[in-house]
Amino acid sequence: MFKVKVYTLGRLKEHWLQDALMEYEKRLSRELQIEWIICKNNADLMQRIELESNWIALDPQGQLLDSAGFSKKFMSFLEQFGSRLCFVIGGSDGIPQQILERSRWKWSLSPLTFTHQMTRLILTEQIYRAIEINSGSSYHK
């Protein structure tokens, strides 16, 4: 079982987003478990992330990859870090510099700006897609 933690700021208000995330987490549940760590603010985020040794930062200045490229990278990180991996999604001011600098990898989903909430959904769907690509299923074609 793979375990992914996502550090992020601010609760989910949108009902539709909760439903969407639940759908993908359910599909993933046989192979991967996502734990959402909702931080109060950047100071809280910095304190909590200290307990982790590796994380990936979602950052507009990060690397752009296609889904097959992300799948390869994701699976190789999971192997390297004992089936556990953390992601950090920043708030509206982005991720604090210290957390960015110490991240293992900076990943950009798109040059477009997405809402903080939609980023959660896109990340979850890409994780699901990465697993499906790796297993050779027909989800990604």
Residues that bind a second copy (CB under 8 A): 14-17, 19-20, 23, 64-67, 69-70, 92, 109-115, 118, 121-122, 125-126, 129, 140-141
Q: Which is nearer to a second copy, 60 or 96 (CB)?
A: 60
CA distances from 6 to 28, 55, 123, 138 (A): 15, 9, 10, 27
CA distances from 57 to 14, 35, 95 (A): 24, 16, 8
Q: Which is nearer to a second copy, 4 or 49 (CB)?
A: 4
* Residue 17: CB minimum distance to a second copy, A: 7
* Residue 121: CB minimum distance to a second copy, A: 7
Q: Which is nearer to a second copy, 14 or 50 (CB)?
A: 14
* Residue 16: CB minimum distance to a second copy, A: 4
Q: Which residues fall within 8 angstroms of residue 2, CB to CB, at 6 or more apart? A: 31, 32, 33, 78, 83, 84, 85, 131
* Residue 53: CB minimum distance to a second copy, A: 27
Distance, in Å, from the CA atom of 118 to the CA atom of 72, rounded to the nearest integer, reads: 23
